Amino acid sequence: MPIPPDALAALPRPFTARLLLNRLGRALRRRGWRVEHRYAETLPVLRVHFPDVAGLGESVTVVGGDGGWWYRSSTGELLAPCSDVELAVLRVMTSLDRWIAAAGSSWRTDGV
């Protein structure tokens, strides 16, 4: 569900956002992704990188959406409800795999 990245959206309290982003970060780390917490800013952000490609990554925030809190990509796309971490992980992985494919690399993190 794409929405403009600068669209006004309900934001959770920083503690809630950090809790939800930590959950996503742990799930991504288990699959070999490198994550970086950027929580000093007003809007907590989880930065996700390929382990060997530090300059390429995705920024994920938490916003209010249809029925609750959602993970949102830096492009403004609502990735998945925060209650469905596995779907969010899949969407982040798919998004980053597209970037690598566009760059002409066959590097993957899922062991396939």
DSSP string, 19-37: HHHHHHHHHHHHTT-EEEE
Q: Tell me which of 103 and 95 has the higher pLDDT.
A: 95
Listed residue (75, 70, 44) closest to 58, CA to CA: 75
- Rounded Cα distance between 73 and 92, Å, is 8
Per-residue confidence band for 97, with pLDDT thresholds at 50, 70 and 90: confident
Q: What's the pTM value of the predicted model, to 2 decimals?
A: 0.79
Listed residue (55, 57, 17, 61) closest to 33, CA to CA: 57
pLDDT in tens, 20-55: 999 999 999 999 999 999 988 778 999 999 877 767
Cβ–Cβ under 8 Å, residues 44 and 17: yes
